[in-house]
Amino acid sequence: MDVYSDTIRDLSANDKLQLVERIWDDLAANGGAMPLPDWAVEEATRRRDQMLADPKLGFTHEEVWKRIDDSRNG
């Protein structure tokens, strides 16, 4: 393994999360579009088409938040 991966592996969970936040903030600050691999675009398109064909496959905004709340409280 390279020195960077070894260094990251030795970080605490909290330090790893802070590193991810810094990387995320840096990516967001650049404002450029992130390239997506073809497979990701194809999968997103497939899921969108599936949802449009049968809207019952998904959840409403309210249902999603209820599931999140239930998972936190239960």
Do 29 and 42 reside in the same domain of the chain? no
Q: Which two tokens stand for residue 8?
A: 């990251």
Q: Which two tokens stand for residue 61?
A: 């905004």
Number of domains in the chain: 2
Dump strand ranges (E) for 1-74: none
Do 63 and 46 reside in the same domain of the chain? yes
CA–CA dist 3, 9 (Å, integer): 10
- Judge whether residue 13 has pLDDT over 70: yes
Cα 54 to Cα 17, 42, 49, 51, distances in angstroms: 38, 18, 9, 5
Do 29 and 7 reside in the same domain of the chain? yes
User: Which comes out higher in pLDDT, residue 42 or 74?
Assistant: 42
- Judge whether residue 17 has pLDDT over 80: yes
Do 46 and 26 reside in the same domain of the chain? no
- Judge whether residue 1 has pLDDT over 60: no
Do 9 and 29 reside in the same domain of the chain? yes
Q: Note the pLDDT tens digit of each residue in 24-68.
A: 999 889 878 888 999 999 999 999 999 999 988 888 899 999 999
DSSP state, 46?
Answer: H
Domain encompassing residue 14: 1-34
